[in-house]
Structure 1
């Protein structure tokens, strides 16, 4: 089975009232962990690569690792560019084997965002690749994303119909209160489900995406803190809110920080317990197992996409 796009995947998710996990990948162990969990749960999966991950691991290595995962698992897997910030970056990924790209023009004004998204969509669609865009801005820091609370803005539902119609994009990331990174909310986390409901009403059947949707497992935070870290106060989006979003119009939920936390917590725990270990297979094996369990939990207990491959 070759890499797939999200078209059929999102159609099934919308009709079935569940969401597909979009998990960020940076190295071989993370690719293995995600796809092994997805295979065991018979779940569709999106492996997404940020500009930073692409720079770190190399475009060709990442593509070949994901292609190997497809061959190994037989699953429907999408290779997606996360937060592409330019036409040139999106074009490079389209030309280089990605089946989905995100163009993030959320920092631009409305007309410029439309123009950039349409340019990417026109190019990608001619080559069989689907496109995600963003309307509204999430606060937080993660990889290349750095948006202050003052610059964050909820998505205006009155703009979504015009944006989607004029750009021709295939899915839309909206801002309803999630946040990038692990150090997130001041006070109690709340999501604007009223905005999501209104967007769904204006775009019936259209797939919506949630970014910044890690829940920040407190057990992983505690493990990191107990083994030399300092992440006091880190928190994320409560999983019951994500389950509710997945039952509505949200077809794709992005998860990155939760995987980093699971990976790092296992790594710190191993090295503090075994300070003389120097074989990467020992400590990276623990990290891979921890990420796999984190992904399995998301697939089964949050996204509801197990058995949907």
Structure 2
């Protein structure tokens, strides 16, 4: 089937009280792993490309690989720009066939974030492309976007309500205690804040920086209204660890398939585990 809009997947997830996994890709093997896991679990899935992934693999390769995967798949797949920071970048992805984009204006003052988000919505919504925005700052590092622990700001529920009223955005990423990258300890999510946001906002909510968040915390967040959960670091960890093991087991090996094959299998396994936690198994 063709790529679908992310909002289509999230609307169903919100009604069904589960979350759709949004998994970052960087190469062909990870795209294959995401689709293989989704097929095995009969689950809808979002394939995400960050600025770093686009720079590394090239936007043409990312879109071609994902479109081909979607055409061959029996499950619905959306292709999403993760953490787009400029209008120009969003439009580049729109021109290349992304079915969803994120415009991250969280570093800007509230009204500027609203203006930038509305500019994107006006440009792409008539094309059937869904739009995610962010309010509050997620700690850690996402490609070249860094937010120190001191600067990390949780999303204000009143601002979330105002932001959604002014933008009518399709999905809203909120900051409730998660962080990008590897955690130094166990993250503690502000569930009361999440509940307050959910009571004020009917828009599908997104949890970034979810790798390393305990399973019970993810389930709790989903039960309180999170409909999209982003996973990147856990995939990288599984992929690289398996490739390293294969190489260390046979340091004279020169066939990249002997390293990337096990890495792909490891990535598929962790993605399947996440899909089950999110409750989206069988929801395709």
TM-score where L is the length of structure 2: 0.98
- Aligned pairs (5 A) from 1:31-42: 31-42=31-42
| Structure 1 unaligned blocks of 5 or more | 216-236
Identify the match of residue 266 of structure 1 among 242, 253, 257.
242
Matched, 1:244 2:220: yes
2:193 corresponds to which residue? 195
TM-fit CA distance, 1:126: 2.1
- Aligned pairs (5 A) from 1:118-157: 118-157=118-157
The answer to whether the 8 Å contact 1:19/1:247 transfers is no
Quote the Cα distance in structure 2 between the aligned partners of 1:184 and 1:256. Answer: 16
Quote the Cα distance in structure 2 between the aligned partners of 1:16 and 1:247. Answer: 10
1:91 corresponds to which residue? 91
TM-fit CA distance, 1:244: 1.1
Identify the match of residue 279 of structure 1 among 223, 235, 255.
255
Quote the Cα distance in structure 1 between the aligned partners of 2:60 and 2:25. Answer: 14
Identify the match of residue 208 of structure 1 among 190, 193, 205.
205
Quote the Cα distance in structure 2 between the aligned partners of 1:45 and 1:90. Answer: 21
Deviations 1:216-237 (A, max 9, x none): xxxxxxxxxxxxxxxxxxxxx1
Matched, 1:257 2:233: yes
1:305 corresponds to which residue? 280
TM-fit CA distance, 1:72: 2.1
Deviations 1:260-290 (A, max 9, x none): 0000110111111110111011110010000
The answer to whether the 8 Å contact 2:3/2:71 transfers is no
Matched, 1:179 2:176: no
TM-fit CA distance, 1:189: 2.2
Deviations 1:45-76 (A, max 9, x none): 00000011001101111111001111221221
TM-fit CA distance, 1:246: 1.6
Quote the Cα distance in structure 1 between the aligned partners of 2:161 and 2:142. Answer: 29
Quote the Cα distance in structure 2 between the aligned partners of 1:271 and 1:11. Answer: 43
TM-fit CA distance, 1:184: 4.0
The answer to whether the 8 Å contact 1:140/1:184 transfers is no
Q: How many residues get paired?
A: 284
Q: Secondary structure at the match of 1:151?
A: coil
Q: 1:174 to 1:143 in 2, by over 3 A?
A: same
Moved over 6 A (4+): none
| Structure 2 unaligned blocks of 5 or more | none
Pairwise CA RMSD of aligned residues?
1.0
Quote the Cα distance in structure 1 between the aligned partners of 2:47 and 2:162. Answer: 29
